[in-house]
Structure 1
Amino acid sequence: MIRTIRHITLWTALAASFAAFVYSAGALYGIHRDNDLIRQLISGKDVAVNKVISGEPELRLARAFYFKRKHRYDEALSTLSLIMDKGDRNFQAKARYNLGNLYLEQAVQQAKAMNINEAMPLAGLAKQAYRQSLALNSRDWDAKYNLEVAMRLLPEMDRVDMPDDEPKNQKSQLWTTVPGFPRGLP
């Protein structure tokens, strides 16, 4: 009787170990596949949507970055919106940081083209995304720096938009709205 119980226990442990091995091998294969797809996106090759949907949120973030580099902003925005609340706090901070970068790049392009009315809301959305990123990860120096860039972009655009007949002391009042000047990264 005891021998039979040992025998059953041994076979049960062996079956459980085999099941754990198969599960771990499948998870490892999925990670390897996602990493290959991320490498393709980084090298500039697009990946089929059906491969991205079944992957981890990091794969979708890489695809959004790919779209941003190709200046396909609407697709990047829709991809980022799907993953904003996925993953841990660090990943959510990265997603919001990339969203801020997306808006900031568009705002800078609009500002260079002198489309101030289009650039201002984009810069505001960039600031909001950077603040959300910093709320999730306050140690992210890149988000802090880019938030400062976005904050400096708005006063510059306000100054360009001012009519010539206003007093010249408006310039000093305008710069008082900037919360400080960056001293550089440590």
Structure 2
Amino acid sequence: MKRLPIHLMFGAATLCCALAAGYYAVRVQRIAQSNGDVAAIGAQPREQWSKSVHDSNDPAVQLAQAVALARAGQHAEAGKLYYDLSRVAPSSEAGRLALYDLANMYLREAAGDDAQGPVRSAPMLETAKARYREVLRIDPGNWDARYNLERALRLAPEAQDTADDTKDVKEQHNINVRGAAPEELP
């Protein structure tokens, strides 16, 4: 009779370990499938992607699809995938990367290939700045986004509100200090 509780505890512990092993086996299988899909996206043209790649709900696979589309020059479709992914999970790693890549895509389209000459599209540049700021709100330590935002600001500086600076109003302050004569402060 004394062995029964010990055998039951051992059986419960064994069952818990078996469930945990099964859970992690399923996770490893899903990760391997996602890695295979991402590798297929990078190695093959879009027409040859498998159905599982097209219908995947995995954020890593969707991000790889968007990157492949952007490299192929299909910016509208890539932008839609980036935007959808950044809105579904904005605080996840895939969401932050999608938002950053979306901003980079807008910056490349706005600045052109050399990024030295005139800006080709000011609205796209403003959109890129907004996306970089959104990335920095989510992840303030993202130095790549900071650098690219600064680069975008150098291409098209933002206008300062100079309405207060244009008024040349001189204010006078009278200060009374014991034992001293009142003087004008600048």
1:105 to 83, 108, 118: 108
Higher relative contact order (CA 8 A, sep 6+): 1
Q: Please state whether the residue corresponding to 2:102 is helix, strand or coil.
A: helix
Q: Deviations over 1:65-112 (max 9, x none)?
A: 111101111111121122214164554332211110121122234999
Partner AA of 1:62 in structure 2: A
Normalised by the size of structure 1, how large is the TM-score? Answer: 0.68
Match of 1:151? 153
Gap runs ≥5 in structure 2: 161-186
Q: Is the 8 A contact 1:104 1:150 kept in 2?
A: yes
Report SS of the residue matched to 2:141. coil
Shift of 1:30: 1.2
Task: Trace 1:67-86 onto structure 2 (pairs within 5 A).
Answer: 67-85=69-87, 86=89
Equivalents in 2 of 1:25, 1:128: separation in Å? 41
Closer/same/farther in 2, CA of residues 149 and 43 from structure 1, 3 Å limit:
farther
Question: Normalized per residue, which structure has more helix?
Answer: 1
C-alpha deviation, 1:137, in angstroms: 2.1
User: What residue ranges of structure 1 are gaps of 5+ in the alignment?
Assistant: 156-173, 178-186
Which residue is 2:40 aligned to? 40
Give the Cα–Cα distance (whole angstroms) in 2 for the partners of residues 26 and 143 of structure 1: 35
Q: The residue matched to 1:84 in structure 2 has which SS?
A: helix
Query: How far has the Cα of 1:45 moved from its partner?
Result: 4.0
2:61 partner amino acid? L
Please tell me whether the aligned partners of residues 84 and 96 of structure 1 are also in contact (alpha carbons under 8 angstroms): yes
State yes or no: 1:121 paired with 2:108.
no
My pick for the range that moved more, 31-40 or 21-30, is 31-40
The size of the alignment, in residue pairs, is 155
One of 63, 77, 95 as aligned partner of 2:65: 63
Specify the code of the residue in structure 1 equivalent to 2:107.
L
CA-atom RMSD in angstroms:
3.0
The structure with the largest alpha-carbon Rg is 2
